[in-house]
Structure 1
Amino acid sequence: MSDPLKIDIISDVMCPWCIIGYRQLAAALEETGTPHEIQWHPFELNPQMPPEGQNTREHIMEKYGSTAEQSEQSRRQMKELGESLGFDFAWDENSRMHNTFNTHQLLHWANTQGRMHDLKQALFTAHFTEQRNLSDNAVLADVAAGIGLDRAEAEAVLEDQRYAEEVRREEQFWQQQGITGVPAMVFDRKHLVTGAQGVDNYRSILKQLAEMRA
């Protein structure tokens, strides 16, 4: 039997297409019965974002030059996609984008506990479904505690920034590999797929990879 398919996913929890793309991939993995190992990696969509964050709609309109109508249409599209994949996007007029450097540090720590994947999913839910403030360290510690991680240790990790340099190095590594947007998925460290491709496309990709590995 061949080794599990290694999947590196570079993403940011502020990115709605990251959770959509992951859910699509997860559905394809289940349908094809593909043995796999997923490793998440950090990417900051907005490294210059101030601690207080910014209104999501304002941010998207500023960054991409979209109109309010285009922004609303995009939200409807993503909400429908999310619902088809069992994920609830619950944006409102007060939804905010946040700086995620501390979020990535907390995920790095969770990886040392073997819980990075679980925390990543909880953070997506906290941000998009529950509209929680992920630039608040107390909220981050609460999310970690919510999946059974040690809250006091989570707070300490955020307070002393012990993983800051390692997270910066990893961000730089993926940037040096040419990753400029997310989600970016690398299969077996050789095959890069960007964006949310849809369940059918992921299924095709997995079948092609299975044939190449046979």
Structure 2
Amino acid sequence: MSATDPLAIDVVSDVVCPWCFLGRRRLEQAIEMVPEVPVVVRWRPYLLDPNVPEEGMDRAAYMKAKFPDPAQIRAIHERLQELGRSVGIDYRFDAIEVAPNTLNAHRVIRWALVEGMQDAVVERLFKLYFEEGADLSRAETLVDAARDAGMNAEVVARLLEGDADLDAVREEIAVAQRLGVTGVPCFIFDNRYAVMGAQEAETLAAAIRRTADERLSPDAAAETD
């Protein structure tokens, strides 16, 4: 890989993970902090809960099963809402009625990479779910998100009717698990470093700088390890 190539940031993420939405916005801030480093962001799939049925399930019941104490759920939501406001996210957890299976959403995200619209699709899916309470298990929702991001909605609708790239998405998820990814978001910088969790923008910016510096001077970087 040439030192002049954009620095690749692979983000292992699920669009029903509120911390991933927060991490996306913080990554956006981090990239703005290091304008001298060209980057390319690629979104990689992860299923926060692979046991959710294809049609989704009632979110209130789902959350109650995971967190029997309502006070715990409230505390988590309030903390996320506070953090979200700092990066322009309006988490509206009360508006979410369905906990979806996101396998099809990840297929759309995969197709968006080819079109150069992946980040726009990911952002739209996050906003639909966390700010508008949309059901991401519905094909119509995914098609609308693709259209909003600039993709060809008719093509996306037709692909969703079949099982194009289902195996490829499942394999990507399996690869992430084999690499030791057990939680998301996970940011992988140039296949050199992995940063787990929705870290502060400054932490992500520092990882970008370090990776860029080591690419330019690998011998010097090795001496500091």
Q: What TM-score comes out, normalization by structure 1 length? A: 0.91
How far residue 117 of structure 1 moved from its aligned partner, in angstroms, is 1.5
Q: Does 1:172 align with 2:174?
A: yes
Alignment of 1:20-169 (within 5 A): 20-33=22-35, 34-63=37-66, 65=67, 67-92=69-94, 94-169=96-171
Q: Secondary structure at the residue paired with 1:186? A: strand
What displacement does 1:57 show? Answer: 4.5
Residue segments in structure 1 that go unaligned for 5+ positions in a row = none
Paired residues of 2:10 and 2:189 also in contact (CA < 8 A): yes
Matched AA of 1:36: V
The offset of 1:97, in angstroms, is: 1.5
Q: What is the distance in 2 between the residues matched to 1:94 and 1:112?
A: 30
In 1, the alpha carbon distance for the partners of 2:191 and 2:215 equals: 13
For residue 51 of structure 1, report the CA deviation from its aligned partner. Answer: 3.1
Task: Give CA deviations for 1:21-65 in whole Å, capped at 9, x if unaligned.
Answer: 1211211110122321101111011112013423434423423x4
Q: Please list every run of at least 4 consecutive aligned residues from structure 1 whose deviation after the TM superposition is greater than 6 angstroms.
A: none
Which is higher, the Rg of structure 1 or of structure 2?
2
Q: 1:26 to 1:86 in 2, by over 3 A?
A: same
Uncovered stretches (5+) of structure 2, i.e. residues with no partner = 217-225
Q: Give the structure-2-normalised TM-score.
A: 0.87
Percent of aligned positions with the same letter in both sequences?
33
> Matched residue of 1:48: which SS?
coil
1:66–1:205 Cα change, 3 Å: farther
Question: For 1:201, which of 176, 180, 203 is the aligned residue?
Answer: 203
Question: What root-mean-square deviation, in Å, do the aligned CA atoms of Structure 1 and Structure 2 show?
Answer: 1.8
